[in-house]
């Protein structure tokens, strides 16, 4: 019997019990749709995180205080007792001369920002002019902090896109005066929106670091009579030199902090490329985990198909006996029932793929979460559905093929 004839027989058998066929396919449909949707959303999340980190530069090292002391603060959590100093930044800038594009200090704290009747608590970052190049910021209006602003201690500010919208609405911000913790600052620039990316500046306010030390930060930015920084950003000219530069940074800061080789350092150096690898591993693991959960529903759907096909074999016992009596071989019976099972799986797989693509596209359109629909995820889901059909269809097909013709014809 031709393959096409077997397919026609399979389709007629499925059409004879439309509702049962639809309900049987439902498990496969849901399973495939879930696999496609979850893999697409997982891959979208991975791509979004990767893009977010790479936008900050894969050659960026962040030096931050990192020694923690066990003890309870007023909020019931361990408190940070180590510090980085402005002098640490100066030492790094003076000593590190190879493989370095920029070294910049940052001091960040939260203050009330006001304009007219609008007021918000915002993170204020004291920075230098090169900070814009290190973080790859683009200017939407006006300019960024300059060297002259820091030398003169000018009371100027640059706003992130969202902060500018919150404070000024439709007004043009550049040239307006805002109040930060009661200190007046003139807005000289607004940054382009970065969106909800890692380390996005959209909600930040940037001021000259020296202005912050002199007029805003006060004693909170001093420890043991020395100016402190929240972190130091080191932009490496060649990302392949990240490890070498990281070792040099540790060497210099150990000497600055009088830490011997056997002692634990009171700072840490974090590479963007390390962060990218870690987060990519986490998101990929999560995607595989979600895909495995979705795969369980496919297995359940496969069990449902096997159950229905066993019922179908029982119902069509006399038909099987008659076909064998007129010359149908064991392989022909086996092929027919296997094709029926695979047809159910394939139809369910196609519908599930369309549904999964629709769900992933809907999520993407809402903007709630990114999703990336790839051919590999569709192929994986379809292959899995096909394999489920073959695997769970073999037992009913063998059972039908092994029926004795005389016994089958006498079956009531």
**Contact 24/304 with Cβ under 8 angstroms?**
yes
Tens digits of per-residue pLDDT, 182-233? 999 999 999 998 876 656 788 999 999 999 999 999 888 998 889 999 999 9
DSSP labels, 98-137: SSEEEEEEEEEEEEEEEETTEEEEEEEEEE-TTHHHHTT-
Does residue 10 or residue 293 have the better pLDDT? 293
Token duo for residue 329 = 């071989």
Residue 215: closest CA among 154, 149, 258: 154
Instruction: DSSP letter for 172, please.
Output: -
Instruction: Name the E strands within 14-155.
Output: 60-65, 68-69, 79-80, 84-85, 100-115, 118-127, 139-142
Largest CA distance in the chain: 104
Does residue 286 or residue 87 have the better pLDDT? 87
Q: Please check the confidence at residue 70 and state whether its pLDDT lies above 50.
A: no
**Contact 35/348 with Cβ under 8 angstroms?**
no
Phi, psi at 112, each rounded to 5°: -80, 130
Cα 258 to its chain centre, rounded Å, is: 40
- How far apart are alpha carbons 298 and 391 in whole angstroms? 12
Around 126, how many Cα atoms within 13 Å sit in the side-chain half-sphere?
Answer: 28
Tens digits of per-residue pLDDT, 111-126? 999 998 888 899 999 9
Task: Tokens 């977010």: give the residue.
Answer: 52
**Contact 159/143 with Cβ under 8 angstroms?**
no
**Contact 372/43 with Cβ under 8 angstroms?**
yes
Q: Please check the confidence at residue 72 and state whether its pLDDT lies above 50.
A: no
Does residue 273 or residue 64 have the better pLDDT? 64
Q: Give the 3-state secondary structure of residue 339.
A: helix
Q: Please check the confidence at residue 29 and state whether its pLDDT lies above 50.
A: yes
Q: Where are the domains of the chain?
A: 3-53+278-410, 83-265
- How far apart are alpha carbons 84 and 226 in whole angstroms? 10
Q: Give the 3-state secondary structure of residue 157.
A: strand
Buried b (16+ CB within 10 A) or exposed e, 373-410: beeebbebbbebbeebbeebbbebbebbbebeeeebbe
């Amino acid at each position: 019997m031709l393959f096409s004839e077997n397919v026609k027989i399979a389709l007629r058998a499925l059409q004879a019990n439309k509702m049962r066929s639809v309900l049987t396919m439902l498990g496969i449909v849901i399973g495939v749709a879930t696999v496609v949707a979850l893999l697409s959303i997982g891959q979208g999340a991975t791509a979004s995180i990767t893009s977010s980190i790479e936008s900050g530069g894969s050659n960026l090292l962040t030096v931050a205080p990192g020694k923690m002391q066990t003890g309870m603060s007023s909020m019931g959590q361990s408190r940070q007792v180590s510090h980085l100093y402005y002098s640490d930044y100066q030492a790094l800038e003076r000593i590190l001369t190879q493989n370095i594009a920029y070294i910049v200090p940052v001091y960040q704290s939260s203050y009330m920002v006001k304009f007219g009747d609008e007021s918000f608590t915002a993170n204020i970052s004291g920075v230098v002019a090169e900070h814009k190049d290190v973080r790859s910021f683009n200017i939407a209006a006006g300019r960024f902090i300059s060297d002259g602003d820091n030398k003169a201690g000018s009371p100027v500010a640059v706003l992130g896109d969202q902060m500018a919208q919150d404070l000024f609405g439709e007004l043009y911000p550049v040239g307006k005066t805002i109040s930060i913790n009661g200190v007046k600052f003139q807005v000289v620039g607004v940054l382009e929106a970065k969106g909800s990316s890692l380390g996005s500046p959209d909600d930040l306010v940037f001021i000259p670091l020296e202005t912050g030390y002199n007029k805003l930060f006060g004693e909170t930015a001093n420890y043991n009579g020395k100016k402190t920084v929240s972190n130091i950003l080191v932009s490496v000219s060649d990302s392949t030199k990240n490890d070498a530069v990281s070792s040099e940074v540790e060497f210099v800061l150990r000497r600055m902090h009088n830490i011997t080789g056997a002692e634990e350092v009171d700072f840490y150096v974090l590479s963007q490329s390390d962060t990218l690898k870690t987060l990519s591993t986490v998101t990929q693991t999560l995607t595989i985990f979600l895909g495995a959960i979705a795969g369980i529903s496919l297995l359940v759907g496969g069990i449902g198909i096997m159950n229905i096909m066993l019922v179908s074999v029982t119902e069509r016992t006399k038909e099987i006996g008659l076909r064998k009596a007129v010359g149908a071989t064991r392989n022909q019976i086996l092929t027919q029932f296997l094709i029926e099972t695979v047809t159910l799986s394939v139809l369910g797989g196609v519908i599930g793929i369309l549904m999964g693509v629709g769900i992933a596209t809907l999520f993407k359109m809402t903007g709630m979460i990114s999703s990336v629909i790839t051919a590999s995820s569709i192929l994986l889901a379809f292959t899995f559905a096909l394999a489920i059909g073959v695997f769970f269809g073999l037992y009913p097909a063998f059972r039908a093929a092994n029926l004795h013709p005389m016994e089958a014809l006498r079956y009531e």
